[in-house]
Structure 1
Amino acid sequence: MTEPSSPAIRALLIAPHISRQSTGEGFVAFKWAEALSSKLALTVLALQSPTHDPLQDQLPEAKVVTWPDPKILVGKRFRAMVKPDWFFFAAKVKGYLAKNPEAFDIGHQIMPLAPRYASPFRHFKMPYVIGPLGGSLPTPAGFKSEMGKPVWYTRLRALDDLRLRFDPGLRQSYSGAALVAGVAPYVEEKLRSIPLQRYENILELGIDTLPELSPKPATGAGLKLLHVGRGVRTKGLREVIRAMAQLKDLSDISLTSAGEGEEIAFCKQEAARLGVADRVRFLGLIPRAEVDELYKEADIFVFPSFREPTGGVLYEAMGWGLPIIAAATGGPNWIVDDTTGLKVPVETPEQLARDVAEAIRTLATDPELRRSMGDAGRAKLAKEGFWDQKAAALVGHYRSVLGRSDGSPEDEK
């Protein structure tokens, strides 16, 4: 006689912005929700953008409850960082849960990424998960003289550590969580002043497919370096330009930059000053398909971002079989290992440029190392990067929190 299967886990996923038409956190939250909706009895609470398709249409396998996105008249960058709509959203979630206190087995606040938003779940007895959390990384002391004058609201990052130590709502949110997830080990260190019940590293990035590759030349001649990212100082493009100037004996190596921002103008001036302007292309903001072509054509991905919470472009580059040069800090220090790339310490701009140049030279003169690192990156993504795999692992964490048998398919739909 067949034993009756257990009912599916009733999970509540909350994030203010969830949409396949979003970028950044909103899109990542959508990918999590989409992958989880086939494995659980999933309910999603979010804000509905008036310019996006209805979220229920985007997530047909989930129950979706949305509220209109409030019209907060602030700059796009300010809203992305400070998230003033979180407080409106959290109040809506609290009201919804007050009316449905027994409706769910587990809650999950999957976004915002930054560890600075108290959770509405802390007011209820339901077990809950927060994360993956990331960010709040400081600027290395040796780089502060080159950072320029920050926009006033970016200085709010400096309050994160104080709030984690003294903000009662934030501390209660994390200490009360059955599980807090971080994008990399540095997050656990950030939360060291709070007595957590359980902590796990769960990278928030994922992939749908691995692209097909074209053969790369075995010689180091004409090697193509690629940097993809917003044109801001922390992405380390300035150090790559300076590294190029230290590789003039390898004059057939070129660099392409894809991304726009205030840093690009400075990097153009730096390339001209150092005499490498003829070896560097600045493409600015380009369509996604053109970025993929750059990955396809490149030989080495150089991304020494020194205040990077995760690094989605690293996943992209690894998917295209590129060896990585990254900074040994933040998210890249977790994503990139010794089999997939070369990591360089971050102390001063001069040191970082020098070490990036050495790493480029190492890979440029060793085609077998480039190939093996590229292969290892793709293997890493194939093993742990697909969204279905990541959702299955997350469901395993839910089961563990709830005391159900981990790895059993009984709790799935």
Structure 2
Amino acid sequence: MSDRLRVLLIAPFLSREATGEAFVAFKWAEALAERVDLTVAAFESPGHTPLAEQLPTVRAITWPAPRIFDAAPRLRAMLKPEWPVFMRRVRGWLEEHADEFDIAHQIMPQAMRYATPLRGYGLPYVIGPLGGSLSTPPAFAVEAGRAKWYTRLRGLDRLRLRFDPALRASYSDAALVLGVAPYIRDQLAPVPIHAYENVLELGVDGAAPERPARSDGPMRLLHVGRGVRTKGLRDVVRAMGLLKGRTDLHLTSAGAGEEIAICRAEAERLGVADRCRFLGPIPRAEVEALYAEADIFVFPSWREPAGNVLYEAMRWGLPVIAAARGGPDWIVEQGVTGLKCPVTTPEALARDVAAAIAALADDPDLRARLGAGGRAKVLREGLWPGKAERLVRLYEGALGG
């Protein structure tokens, strides 16, 4: 008989052909399959290769995905309206199969607002890595605008952690709760939990190719992210305005959303439009090419649960500029992998980002040192085999092994 742990991994969707949470869940499953006897339970992603074919060494338990919300992808991403259906499917299946596992793990959704279907079967379980529920800093509230109603529901998360019995029991009954960064432990303070660990949900398959050092030409700044106010692109454009006399600085933005038009107009107003390029949505291969060409990654996102793009940039050996808040505050080590800017007011953030850009632009040794530090961090902490090995050790610890 195999002495490997028998693990049930659940997530609404897992697929190597997806993006976001479904892709991250797939990468965890793929890595864990090398170390445990793994069963995954998920909806089949419409139009994707069947999960059993994507993970041929894994036992895949799947159900047809509800399609009623396909026409509202943003609402679907925020609310996970298929979650009640998924809970019923998982609970019905566990009624007959719970005793087949040593431990279960709800790896997604990342948000803290979803009660788990794993309770009540005498099966030790893990939840996470959890992320999100960050508030908008008061000084940024006016510029952030009024979010859609379903986005504003995140404001109820803290109340539910205090008063929703099903949600509270989901965490208090868990053998282990994982968070993407230390701020999650603070968010969970109202709930008594058995054990907590920080585990960044991000990972990489390997190092990017070495980037040759450049000694001439413009200093190429890069921002990658959705075109929403929280991602900090407007703050970078304003920093460019404060550095208006530095004609050697050129900014490229990759990402789509309503914020892009605002940032383009801001660049015109500040007189730096000739040095700000807004590409909009581009294919993944072109994003990778931008990382390879850039000198500095500037991403002062101030409501960021984790910071996937920071990991991507560090994988390429880029020094990063980030906000000292949320996930980036934990990912970026000040003076080792990048420079962090406090989040107080938009004016102060723009000034601090400008100062960080100037410091890196004027010091090639600093750029090289921080870039090497970031690359080393990703290879030390972010390779999927190592992440899976650590997770298995956490499983064993949760089981008292």
TM-score range, shorter chain: over 0.9
Residues 221-268 of structure 1, C-alpha deviations (whole Å, 9 max, x = no match): 511100000000000000000000111232111000001100000000
> What is the distance in 1 between the residues matched to 2:16 and 2:98?
29
Tell me, yes or no, if the aligned pair for 2:211 and 2:317 is still in contact at 8 Å: no
Letter matched to residue 255 of structure 2: G
Letter matched to residue 196 of structure 1: I
Match of 1:369 in 2: 366
Match of 1:29 in 2: 25
Selected match of 2:153 from 143, 151, 156? 156
Match of 1:191 in 2: 188
Match of 2:51 in 1: 55
CA shift, 1:8, in A, is 1.2
> What is the distance in 1 between the residues matched to 2:286 and 2:147?
31
> What is the distance in 1 between the residues matched to 2:87 and 2:143?
38
Letter matched to residue 38 of structure 1: E
**Overall identity of the aligned pairs, in %:** 61
Selected match of 1:19 from 15, 20, 23? 15
Moved segments of 4+, more than 2 Å: none
Determine helix, strand or coil for the equivalent of 1:194. Answer: coil
Tell me, yes or no, if the aligned pair for 2:176 and 2:194 is still in contact at 8 Å: yes
Tell me, yes or no, if the aligned pair for 1:70 and 1:85 is still in contact at 8 Å: yes
CA shift, 1:6, in A, is 6.4
Give the gaps of 5 or more residues in structure 2: none
> What is the distance in 1 between the residues matched to 2:251 and 2:362?
16
Selected match of 2:132 from 135, 149, 161? 135
Selected match of 2:222 from 199, 222, 226? 226
Selected match of 1:381 from 358, 378, 381? 378
Letter matched to residue 11 of structure 2: A
Output aligned runs, 1:207-218, within 5 Å.
207-218=204-215
Output aligned runs, 1:20-169, within 5 Å.
20-73=16-69, 74-169=71-166
Give the gaps of 5 or more residues in structure 1: 405-413
CA shift, 1:88, in A, is 0.2
Q: Name the count of aligned residue pairs.
A: 399
> What is the distance in 1 between the residues matched to 2:399 and 2:193?
17
Superposition RMSD on alpha carbons, in Å? 1.0
CA shift, 1:394, in A, is 0.2
Letter matched to residue 358 of structure 1: A
> What is the distance in 2 between the residues matched to 1:6 and 1:20?
28
Letter matched to residue 90 of structure 2: V
Tell me, yes or no, if the aligned pair for 1:109 and 1:129 is still in contact at 8 Å: yes
Letter matched to residue 40 of structure 1: V
CA shift, 1:101, in A, is 2.8
Q: 1:49 to 1:6 in 2, by over 3 A?
A: closer
Tell me, yes or no, if the aligned pair for 1:185 and 1:201 is still in contact at 8 Å: yes
Tell me, yes or no, if the aligned pair for 1:224 and 1:300 is still in contact at 8 Å: yes
Q: Does 1:287 align with 2:283?
A: yes
Determine helix, strand or coil for the equivalent of 2:197. Answer: strand
Tell me, yes or no, if the aligned pair for 1:244 and 1:276 is still in contact at 8 Å: yes
Match of 1:317 in 2: 313
Determine helix, strand or coil for the equivalent of 1:121. Answer: coil
Q: Does 1:177 align with 2:153?
A: no
Tell me, yes or no, if the aligned pair for 2:14 and 2:45 is still in contact at 8 Å: no
> What is the distance in 1 between the residues matched to 2:147 and 2:378?
36
Letter matched to residue 61 of structure 2: V
Tell me, yes or no, if the aligned pair for 1:72 and 1:85 is still in contact at 8 Å: no
Letter matched to residue 111 of structure 2: A
Match of 1:402 in 2: 399
> What is the distance in 1 between the residues matched to 2:142 and 2:396?
49
> What is the distance in 2 between the residues matched to 1:153 and 1:214?
42
Letter matched to residue 98 of structure 1: E
Higher relative contact order (CA 8 A, sep 6+): 1
> What is the distance in 2 between the residues matched to 1:352 and 1:326?
10
Determine helix, strand or coil for the equivalent of 2:159. Answer: helix
Determine helix, strand or coil for the equivalent of 2:378. Answer: helix
Letter matched to residue 193 of structure 2: L
Tell me, yes or no, if the aligned pair for 1:216 and 1:299 is still in contact at 8 Å: no
Residues 329-349 of structure 1, C-alpha deviations (whole Å, 9 max, x = no match): 011011110200000000111
Tell me, yes or no, if the aligned pair for 1:302 and 1:325 is still in contact at 8 Å: yes
Determine helix, strand or coil for the equivalent of 1:116. Answer: coil
Selected match of 1:278 from 271, 274, 283? 274
Determine helix, strand or coil for the equivalent of 2:298. Answer: strand
> What is the distance in 2 between the residues matched to 1:59 and 1:26?
14
Q: Does 1:297 align with 2:293?
A: yes
Output aligned runs, 1:308-347, within 5 Å.
308-338=304-334, 339-347=336-344
> What is the distance in 1 between the residues matched to 2:333 and 2:215?
23
> What is the distance in 2 between the residues matched to 1:34 and 1:72?
29
Match of 1:411 in 2: none
CA shift, 1:53, in A, is 0.5
Letter matched to residue 286 of structure 2: E
> What is the distance in 2 between the residues matched to 1:124 and 1:165?
24
> What is the distance in 2 between the residues matched to 1:136 and 1:81?
12
